[in-house]
Structure 1
Amino acid sequence: MIVWLNGAFGAGKTTAANELLDLLPGSTLYDPELIGAGLRHMLPKERLGEVDDFQELPSWRRLVVDTAAALLNEVPGPLIAPMTLLRREYRDEMFGALAARRIPVRHLLLHAEEPVLRCRIDQRASAEGDEAGRAWCLRRLGQYTAALPWLTDDAHTVDTSRLTPRRTAERLAEAVEAGHGAVDIVQTPEPTAETVAAGVLLFDERDRVLLVDPTYKPGWEFPGGVVEPGEAPVPAGVREVFEELGLHLSTPPSLLVVDWEPPKPPGFGGLRLLFDGGRLAAGDAAALLLPSAELRGWCFATEEEAARLLPPVRRERLRCALRARRSGLPLYLEAGVPVGAPDTVVPE
């Protein structure tokens, strides 16, 4: 298990984590910041110059998960990880990858009001003579405030404004013992080889496409999922739509796109199929049922709106699927690019 101590700089995560070691038998301090420090020494300066924070590095997010899994093969756990995590897409990526490894997460938020945070940041910077660090931490207070709505919804909150580090740790230990902060997230095993996935596009009366927001990976997605061994893609897409949305598709969906996704380590790639599930009646959309451990929300989006929500690879796949839908002819893609299709098949 990982006890993830989240919160703004100055919330008291590190001091509370060290106190918490005494209260949780078998626990080990796990500082993901050390991985960031290591990457600063290993990556070329040109790459480091492209990011403002090492959390923006996909390698950091991957290594945090892999290192946690490796450590839990060496120590009984739990791991106590004091680490600010303010971007929800990073939370989804990392907690989803931990869930895929069957590593449960307790997400605990150490909160303090902004005047308290500013005072603590100033005191620490003055003691260490770190003016650059002070400015960096203060700039991120706005990001913390903006993230609070999803943080307080996702994590169990402990207000540290008037608590000593020891009392904070005691409150955290009580929360862990009571089961608070447990991250309810789908445990989707990571693929070990190429996969075939079937997605189904559903539309409203304005021809906006239905997108869903997974809890276990960043970015929005189409309803659908991996085709199981021995399963055909169309029934797989129909099954996934029912499991994810509670909708029964009475007519088999028609093919729009076959996209070969190349392997990109650590991913294996494979075939990605998109089908046209047709238009939903208003009553069907109102009755959608989402599994909370897998999806946190859904929306209908225009092509332009979807382009802002989807990761690039899915954005291009949707663009081609919508054009195939308009033309009535399916498209074959490789890495999101149509192959062997006449210009008339992909009208602008």
Structure 2
Amino acid sequence: MLLWINGPFGGGKTQTAHEIRRRLPGSVLCDPEHPGFGLRRMLPPELRGDFQDLTSWRQGVVEVLDLTLGRHDGVVIAPMTVTDPRYFAETVGRLRELGHDVRHFTLLAERETVLARLRGRGFGWLLRYVAGKDAPLRRESWAVEQLDHCLERLREPEFAEHLWTDRTTVARTADRIAVLAGLTLTPNRDGLVRGWLRRAGTSARHIRFD
């Protein structure tokens, strides 16, 4: 089974994917962003754009996930924002055509909720402490520019199943996905501090500088 976790940039996909992997024995996380940024770095700066526009990315993601799903016994988790219906068909749709059990979930939240999460990504909490809670999101400017488009497109029925996350935790979102997919997670035994440290570590490991 493949769990494809969609949602706007800063919507909690990566945190939720890592939470599921942590609490679902035998599961693995395959992040489609990795080949995307690799392909992007191969291009000279003036040619760099959205790596999802590259056919090689879409085909490569399908090839790698098809291989993993065919040879790995456990659940595979892929956190990735996809809002273009054509690209969705060429990735999620294509994997379904190949016979894989793909469960797709879109994490949604109100605009202000996502902006608050973007401010807290990486070392954003430190910037807020130094420059104030309304400091501009310079490093996340691209994500902010895409936010309204993402929220509008991802509300469409084709991107269901929708899960609203404004008033819930990462652990509870993971629990909801597991129930909907017919999976059983191990109990979440993290306290407030340990949970925060775990999420901060995940966020720091996924800081992008290009």
Same fold (TM over 0.5): yes
Counterpart check, 1:147 vs 2:144:
no
Gaps of 5+ in 1: 179-348
Structure 2 counterpart of 1:90, one-letter code: Y
SS at match of 1:109: strand
Counterpart check, 1:28 vs 2:24:
no
Gaps of 5+ in 2: 128-135, 184-210
Q: Report how far residue 153 of structure 1 moved.
A: 4.2
- Structure of greater Rg: 1
SS at match of 1:14: helix
Kept in 2, the 8 Å contact 1:36–1:60? The answer is yes
Counterpart check, 1:167 vs 2:172:
yes
In the other structure, the counterpart of 2:186 is: none
In the other structure, the counterpart of 1:136 is: 142
In the other structure, the counterpart of 2:194 is: none
Whole-Å Cα distance in 2 between the matches of residues 36 and 111 of structure 1?
Answer: 23
Q: Which of these residues, 49, 68, 73, is aligned with residue 76 of structure 1?
A: 73
In the other structure, the counterpart of 2:90 is: 93
CA deviation vs aligned residue, 1:13-65 (integer Å, no higher than 9, x gap)? 11111111144342111100011122134x342xx644521111111011000
Number of paired residues?
174
Kept in 2, the 8 Å contact 1:7–1:111? The answer is yes
Whole-Å Cα distance in 2 between the matches of residues 127 and 58 of structure 1?
Answer: 36
Kept in 1, the 8 Å contact 2:19–2:174? The answer is yes
Structure 2 counterpart of 1:175, one-letter code: L
CA deviation vs aligned residue, 1:133-186 (integer Å, no higher than 9, x gap)? 311110011211330342x443111111111111111111111118xxxxxxxx
SS at match of 1:140: helix
Kept in 1, the 8 Å contact 2:51–2:57? The answer is yes
In the other structure, the counterpart of 1:17 is: 17
Whole-Å Cα distance in 1 between the matches of residues 154 and 91 of structure 2?
Answer: 19
Structure 1 counterpart of 2:15, one-letter code: T
Kept in 1, the 8 Å contact 2:10–2:115? The answer is yes
Kept in 1, the 8 Å contact 2:13–2:80? The answer is yes
Kept in 1, the 8 Å contact 2:26–2:73? The answer is yes
Return closer, same or farther for 1:138/1:98 CA change in 2, 3 Å cut-off.
Answer: same
Whole-Å Cα distance in 1 between the matches of residues 73 and 46 of structure 2?
Answer: 38
SS at match of 1:119: helix
Counterpart check, 1:177 vs 2:182:
yes
State the Cα RMSD in Å: 2.2
Whole-Å Cα distance in 1 between the matches of residues 52 and 166 of structure 2?
Answer: 26
Alignment of 1:117-266 (within 5 A): 117-124=114-121, 126-127=124-125, 131-150=137-156, 152-177=157-182
Return closer, same or farther for 1:6/1:140 CA change in 2, 3 Å cut-off.
Answer: same
Whole-Å Cα distance in 2 between the matches of residues 7 and 116 of structure 1?
Answer: 13
Higher strand fraction (1 or 2): 1
